[in-house]
Every structure is written in C-alpha cells, then in structure tokens.
Chains A and B, each alone.
Chain A
C-alpha cells in the first residue's frame, strides 16, 4: 500500500469523524422553543398559512404535507432557488459552482462503481456495464470540472469587486475558492491526459482492495489527488458544510411548528430543561449564581406587591 492510499484513508477517517461529530453536536442540542418562519411547506397552504388559521386548531387532526416539503427542498438543493429569487447576480456564479460540485461528486461515485466492478474483471474494454460506468464518470465529472471552474472564477471576482461582499470576505474565503478551483482545473487536466479515467479507477481499486497501485500516476494527477485528500479532511471543519445547517435550519428550526400537545417525549424534555441551573448575572434574573434553576426564576416575580389589590 502506498503513501497516497494511506493519506486517502486518513483523510476519509477525519471526514467521517468530523462530519459525524458535527451532526451529533446539533442533533443532541436541547429542543428549543418554537421559532418557525412561514411559509412552511408541510402546512400545505401556498399562501404561507398555518394551523393557527383554523378555529380550535388543537381539536383537529393536523395534515402534514410531506410531498410539499420535497417539492420545496429538491429545487432548493439542486438549483439554489432562494439565491435565484433573492440574489440573482450571485446565483449566476453560485449555481455553476454548486452544480459543478454535485456533478463531480456524481462522477466520483461512478468512478468508484467502475473500480468496484473492475475487481471482478469487468473492465470498460470487455464489459458493457463497466463501459457505461466509465461513460457516466466522464459525463458527470467533465462538465462538473468546467462548471465548477466557471463558478469559482465568478465567485472570486464577485467577492473581490462587490464592496458588500469584499467587506465581509477574508483570506480564508478566497483560499477555499482557490483550493476548489485548483481541484476542478487539475481534475480537468487529468481527464485530458487520461480520458478513460484508467489511472483514477486503478487508484480507487487499490483503495477498495488495500492492494498496490497498478498504473503509474502522473505529477498533475498526484497534485489533484493531494488537493482532494486535503480538502476532504478540511471540509467538515468549515462553514461549507452548510448542507448540515440547511437540514437543521429548515427541518428543525424554520419548519418545526410541532405544537405542544403533551406528548411524553416533549414533556420530559421540558421538565429536564426547567431544572437546568441558571447563571445569568443581571440582578433582575435572580439566579443567585446557579442556585436557582429555570423553573425557579421563571415562576418568581421580584416586583409583585402582595398588597396591591
């Protein structure tokens, strides 16, 4: 097993651990108070309405339109609809950038599948399936490199020239873009040198079989691989994992309108949270440095004048 294979495994390990830690961090946070934002697609009211529009809503069965949620999310994820509607000049660059990424990931999946079937002797030259996977790899990856590069160039120029964006951009933002740009460009050059992805597939095969690399890898290909390995490990620790926030922010915050109907799960959480100690220091809170919990401070009224009535 070579050095590049070991680095790839390590990078994958860091990615999995980093990403899982991030998911776990958000998934295990306490249930928050409701903070929804309408329209909520699963309410099934295209004007943005909610169950609050119905008289005695708590007596009625809630109808949750899951399909409406998917109808919203699929174009949002694939085409970045929100940006298309509200920030078109950025969308012109952000869309090719993201689509380039999706296509490259798709290409990587087909490359992996091609490597897998190759283990069983199915190579593009002798197997229709392997040949199809090879073609799909090209069909996804190459437009992905091109679109990704267009997006990176556009976003970089936009971030440098638009004062609103330039003021909030830091070196790291440009580094991220350039890093991905180099990944796309070197990937494209690798494809020019090896249009059938023969070397890439052999490398993938060596990863799956823990075996030796059977094809020599060119210098640009090594650079491309190192850029990928580095990015894979770095990615979970950046704000670029915003697909995580998208899931939580939409599903667990903006669309979380589950009313409290006294189910046991919600009740036990609320009871647990009300017992958390409070250490807010302002005098009116009356937390006494953590001696009081949320139930204590919320049920106290430091100003109540018992004789007022």
Chain B
C-alpha cells in the first residue's frame, strides 16, 4: 500500500486478520486466536476507526464539513509550528534530518515488531506514517510543493481521513526506536511518530485519554497519574510498612520527606497500587544496605512517571521540573528512579537539557544502585532461594535509549544459581519492546487492548516463550524479570490473556522482588506465584 492511500475514502483501510499474524512458538503454534473485537455500531458512529478498525483514541468524528476543515487546518498549522525553532527547539534538528533524508530502503521495516507480527501490514511500516508526514510537509508547506508533486512522490491529499488515520496511526508505534537503530542513513522514524503525536496534542488537544486526561493531567492535578493524592500516600506507605512486617518480621520505617537525605527515591506510583511488593522490596533492601534515602509525598514527587515523554513536550517539562524542584527542596544529593523504564529516560536523559546546569540534580538508575549494593556485600544473598529458570526483559528506555545493560545482569547473576539465567534473543540494546511502550501498557480505550494483545505484545510473548523452550512443563515454575512498571503491566496482560502460567508455568516479577527473595535473612519466600494463596489454604 502506498502512503498516499491513507487519504482514500473508504470505511476501513486495513483489517487485522488473525490468520495473517506471525506465528507464536510452542505451545502456541496452533493456538486459536481471538480476533479484534469489532466496535459496536454506536461506537463506529461516534469514533474514528477507519485506519484498521481499532480505536485507541476514541477520537470523535467531526459533525460538520466545517469542523473537518477546521481540524485539517489545525493539523497543518501544527505541522508548520513543529518545524520552527521557537515551538520545537527541543527536537528540531533530529526532526528535520529525519524529514529530509529517508532513502526509502525499508531496512527499518524488518526491525519493527509491530510490522513483523501484524503479518507485515504496510500501514505499520515505520516509514508509512513518517512518509505521509513528509509528503504533506512537502506538498502543502514547501515553496512550489505542487509542482510535479506526483513525479516527486508527494502527491498526497490532505483531508480529514488522512488526519484521523494519522492520529490513530501515531498510536500504533511503541517508540522503541529499533527502526532508528538499524537505519543506514540515521533517520529516526520513531522520532517522526513522537513528533506527530505532539502535533495532535500540542496543537489540536488530541491524545490517548489514558496518557493525557487520565495521565499527565491527573499527575499534575492530584500528584499521580493513578489519582493517588498527596494525602493518601502517607497512608499507603503505612500499609506497606505493615505488610513488610507481616512478610519479613522486620519493622521498617520508610522515610518520608526527609530533608537532607542523600537520595530521593521515586517509584512509578502504579507499583503502590498494582505491585506493592515492589516498593516494599526497595524499602527492605535500602534498609538492609543502610541507604540514606527518602520518599516524597509532594505533588508529583511520589510518582516517577512522565507521560509527556510520549506525546507532549509541555506536559513533559511540567512534570520533569516538578521532580527536580522537589529534590532541590529536600536537599538530596541525587534522585534514584525506581523500576520504571520511561521515567528513567524522561528524568535522566530527556530532562537533562531543560534547565541550566546549576539547577539540575544528578539522577541515577536504581539498577546501578542495586548493583552497587550487591557488589558492596552489605546484604547476603542465597541464590539457591531463586532456584528456577529466569529470563530478563530489557526495557527499551533503559537499555537502547540509555545504555544501562550490565548492572541488571550482574544483579541477576549474583542472586540466581548458576545456569538458571536465560537471555532472550535478541537482548540488550537490540531487545524488543514489551509491546506496552509509549503508553500502550496503560491504554485500553475502544478495542485497543485487542490490538496490543495481537500485534504489539506478540513479539515479546514470542521471545519469552522461546527463552524457556525445552522446559515448558507447567510444573517447572519460570520467571520473567521485568524491571519496569509499564513493561510488567504489559507482560502481565499478555501472560493472562494467553493463560501462559497455566500452560507453561511462566510468571513475571520485578528485579527487587527477586533480590529480597534471595536474601539470607528472609525466612519466608518473598515472591508470590499464581495460586500460592490457594496452596496456603
């Protein structure tokens, strides 16, 4: 399909058929997939879905031709602003390089898990959406853009169908940037997608509801994208302290708002709600290692997420500046980011040039600090307590986009018995996204969850299954270590959808949970497996 066909007047451009999908490995070779749930008639009438029959944005259809025209003009105006230094100094140079230099070689396509696993649907090629944007810019925003437009390859119609499909298409890429890592010219079609999302958000107010209204807005309004208020945090921390005592017999006080502490530790607040054992494990480890740290209960200070990273520079900057401001007020020497991949990149890398150097606070990965704790010998680990096969998922934001590859492996090698660690292939900087990147892990509007299950999460599921081939007996318990909140959420959803634990014995956890499980002075197992409570009963 040519990119120009995106403006075609048709009910639906592409259909995802389960029989087209790339096959999964044993024991799922003949698995009967549940197809994408079609939108209901009333949803179809309300929401744009003409790209692939999926609605991630629940984008309302314009009611009049005038409204369509206004939105198309707004899109063009946003694209124009995107190419100015005043509105887009943050990404102008890499954007313009990627706009101008694609050699159309399609090397990036084979690197993209969404394209591959969808059964190679053209619309998911990394170049497809990027080419549409390039063509619109050339035809509608460059001098003489109409001259020989067909011959020059940018004769595209900019209509509402184009804009609506582009909006949805910008949420079919996880921003993992594998495409950019293989481009022989250096073009970054992942960045093109990031910038496209910015047009929709910053100019048109269109974004995934879970990452904007229910995400960064809630973060700035209540203090956390989970909706957890500053008043509730202290209570939750108390519950965690009680749970720690129950699970370990230790009375541990989790420090809050401690001025002058060496470290401000910020978790993804989703951990408090979905996986409280993760912040508990951090507390146990930091207490045992004698780390001088604090958590914050200030607005945004207890939630490391920064959803603006995926769609909006302004929202991104607001949250990042809050994090830095809180650390400055507490007088800490550094911020340590918990097991949250995108928070790592947001605060450590992208936010690094938002403020003059004197106003910055050093940021560090918890992986690095945890590895240092292991190396210090302050905590004694007994690897035999983790005597089951373990594979490691590399969060893209931490590995390919930040270069933290070894510390997590060194930690695992110290807390697992020899021969129990299996690498996925490929891994490290060549890893595949969990399928929940760029906000997908928390997005479930319309019928988008089905798309994630069938397409974006499929490669990782395939990798996980491949990592344990030969030991698929469900009685052999196996663990995926996913030291990132969003990755963990996506992997959980995939394992549950495909009943992977029941069929193969594979489950998931974070890294700190495995560490605490291996602590010599931890009497009871800290890790929980599905069905453990039933066994206890």
Which residues of A come within 8 Å of B, CB atoms? 25-26, 29-40, 43, 45, 47-58, 80, 82-83, 85-87, 90, 94, 162, 164-165, 167-173, 175, 239, 241-242, 244-246, 248-250, 252-254, 257, 259-263, 266-267, 270-271, 273, 276-285, 294, 297-305, 308-309
**Among the listed B153, B183, B355, which residue makes an inter-chain contact with A169, where contact means beta carbons less than 8 Å apart?**
B153
B230 to chain A: closest CB distance in Å? Answer: 6
Q: Contact at B91–A35, with CB atoms within 8 Å? A: yes
Q: Contact at B180–A300, with CB atoms within 8 Å? A: no
Q: Contact at A30–B231, with CB atoms within 8 Å? A: no
Closest to B184 in A: A82
Q: Contact at B182–A277, with CB atoms within 8 Å? A: no
19 A-B pairs in the complex with CB atoms less than 8 angstroms apart: A33-B354, A37-B180, A37-B400, A52-B404, A55-B369, A83-B184, A165-B104, A167-B1, A239-B101, A245-B186, A248-B93, A253-B188, A254-B186, A260-B352, A263-B357, A270-B354, A279-B86, A280-B78, A282-B205
New A-B contacts (17) at CB < 8 Å, excluding given A242-B185, A279-B86: A29-B93, A36-B403, A52-B364, A52-B365, A52-B368, A52-B403, A53-B368, A83-B105, A239-B103, A246-B186, A249-B186, A253-B93, A254-B180, A280-B81, A282-B205, A298-B317, A303-B220
B184 cross-chain contacts in A, Cβ below 8 A: 80, 82-83, 86-87
**Among the listed A30, A47, A239, A266, which residue makes an inter-chain contact with B357, where contact means beta carbons less than 8 Å apart?**
A266
B274 cross-chain contacts in A, Cβ below 8 A: none
Q: How far is the CA of A87 from the CA of B343 in the complex (A)?
A: 33
B318 cross-chain contacts in A, Cβ below 8 A: 297-301
Q: Contact at A285–B186, with CB atoms within 8 Å? A: no
Q: Contact at B89–A309, with CB atoms within 8 Å? A: no
B90 at the interface (CB under 8 A from A): yes
| Residues 329 to 381 of chain B near chain A (Cβ within 8 Å) | 334, 348-358, 360, 362, 364-365, 368-369, 371-372
B221 at the interface (CB under 8 A from A): yes
Q: How far is the CA of A239 from the CA of B96 in the complex (A)?
A: 12
Q: Contact at A298–B314, with CB atoms within 8 Å? A: yes
B204 at the interface (CB under 8 A from A): yes
Closest to A269 in B: B353
B399 cross-chain contacts in A, Cβ below 8 A: 38, 48
Q: Contact at B401–A38, with CB atoms within 8 Å? A: yes
B1 to chain A: closest CB distance in Å? Answer: 6
Q: Contact at A164–B106, with CB atoms within 8 Å? A: yes
Looking at chain B's contact residues, the main secondary structure is helix
A253-B186, A304-B299, A309-B230 are contacts. A299–B93 as well, Cβ < 8 Å?
no
Max count, chain A CB within 10 A of own CB: residue among B3, B151, B230: B151
B432 to chain A: closest CB distance in Å? Answer: 15
**Among the listed A26, A52, A279, which residue makes an inter-chain contact with B402, where contact means beta carbons less than 8 Å apart?**
A52
Q: How far is the CA of A57 from the CA of B96 in the complex (A)?
A: 32
B348 cross-chain contacts in A, Cβ below 8 A: 52
Q: How far is the CA of A43 from the CA of B245 in the complex (A)?
A: 43
A249-B188, A276-B86 are contacts. A30–B107 as well, Cβ < 8 Å?
no
**Among the listed B85, B111, B360, which residue makes an inter-chain contact with A262, where contact means beta carbons less than 8 Å apart?**
B360
**Among the listed A40, A48, A87, which residue makes an inter-chain contact with B105, where contact means beta carbons less than 8 Å apart?**
A87
Q: Contact at A30–B85, with CB atoms within 8 Å? A: yes
Q: Contact at B100–A34, with CB atoms within 8 Å? A: no
A47 cross-chain contacts in B, Cβ below 8 A: 405-406, 428-429
Which residues of B come within 8 Å of A, CB atoms? 1-3, 74, 77-78, 81, 85-87, 89-94, 96-98, 100-107, 109-111, 122, 125, 127, 131, 150-154, 177, 180-188, 191, 201-205, 212, 217, 220-223, 229-231, 299, 314-315, 317-318, 321-322, 334, 348-358, 360, 362, 364-365, 368-369, 371-372, 399-407, 428-429
**Among the listed A38, A86, A278, A305, which residue makes an inter-chain contact with B403, where contact means beta carbons less than 8 Å apart?**
A38
A168 cross-chain contacts in B, Cβ below 8 A: 2-3, 104, 106, 127, 131, 153
B418 to chain A: closest CB distance in Å? Answer: 20
A38-B402, A164-B125, A170-B153 are contacts. A304–B355 as well, Cβ < 8 Å?
no
Q: Contact at B356–A43, with CB atoms within 8 Å? A: no
A37-B401, A83-B105 are contacts. A249–B187 as well, Cβ < 8 Å?
yes
A38-B400, A86-B111, A169-B153 are contacts. A249–B353 as well, Cβ < 8 Å?
no
Q: How far is the CA of A242 from the CA of B185 in the complex (A)?
A: 6
Q: Contact at B185–A48, with CB atoms within 8 Å? A: no
B395 to chain A: closest CB distance in Å? Answer: 13
B364 cross-chain contacts in A, Cβ below 8 A: 52, 55-57
Q: Contact at A35–B131, with CB atoms within 8 Å? A: no
Q: Contact at B97–A249, with CB atoms within 8 Å? A: yes
A168-B3, A262-B360 are contacts. A278–B100 as well, Cβ < 8 Å?
no
Q: Contact at A276–B85, with CB atoms within 8 Å? A: yes
Closest to A270 in B: B356
**Among the listed B93, B107, B317, B402, which residue makes an inter-chain contact with A90, where contact means beta carbons less than 8 Å apart?**
B107
B102 cross-chain contacts in A, Cβ below 8 A: 239
Closest to B183 in A: A82
A28 to chain B: closest CB distance in Å? Answer: 9
Q: Contact at B203–A280, with CB atoms within 8 Å? A: yes
Closest to B186 in A: A249
B41 to chain A: closest CB distance in Å? Answer: 31
B181 cross-chain contacts in A, Cβ below 8 A: 37
Q: How far is the CA of A300 from the CA of B317 in the complex (A)?
A: 10
Cβ-closest 10 pairs across A and B: A262-B357, A50-B403, A170-B153, A249-B186, A48-B429, A303-B221, A298-B317, A245-B101, A82-B184, A30-B89
Closest to A246 in B: B186
Q: How far is the CA of A297 from the CA of B111 in the complex (A)?
A: 37
Q: Contact at B93–A30, with CB atoms within 8 Å? A: yes
Q: Contact at A87–B92, with CB atoms within 8 Å? A: no
B528 to chain A: closest CB distance in Å? Answer: 30
**Among the listed A171, A239, A304, which residue makes an inter-chain contact with B221, where contact means beta carbons less than 8 Å apart?**
A304
Q: Contact at B360–A250, with CB atoms within 8 Å? A: no
A164 cross-chain contacts in B, Cβ below 8 A: 106, 109, 122, 125
B358 cross-chain contacts in A, Cβ below 8 A: 262, 267
A163 to chain B: closest CB distance in Å? Answer: 9
Max count, chain B CB within 10 A of own CB: residue among A39, A55, A276, A300: A55
Q: Contact at B106–A165, with CB atoms within 8 Å? A: yes
B188 cross-chain contacts in A, Cβ below 8 A: 35, 37, 249, 253-254
**Among the listed A39, A48, A171, A281, which residue makes an inter-chain contact with B74, where contact means beta carbons less than 8 Å apart?**
A281
Q: Contact at A32–B93, with CB atoms within 8 Å? A: yes
Q: How far is the CA of A262 from the CA of B361 in the complex (A)?
A: 11
A94 to chain B: closest CB distance in Å? Answer: 7
Q: Contact at A172–B151, with CB atoms within 8 Å? A: yes
Q: How far is the CA of A259 from the CA of B403 in the complex (A)?
A: 14
B180 cross-chain contacts in A, Cβ below 8 A: 37, 254
Closest to B155 in A: A170
A2 to chain B: closest CB distance in Å? Answer: 32
Q: How far is the CA of A52 from the CA of B220 in the complex (A)?
A: 28
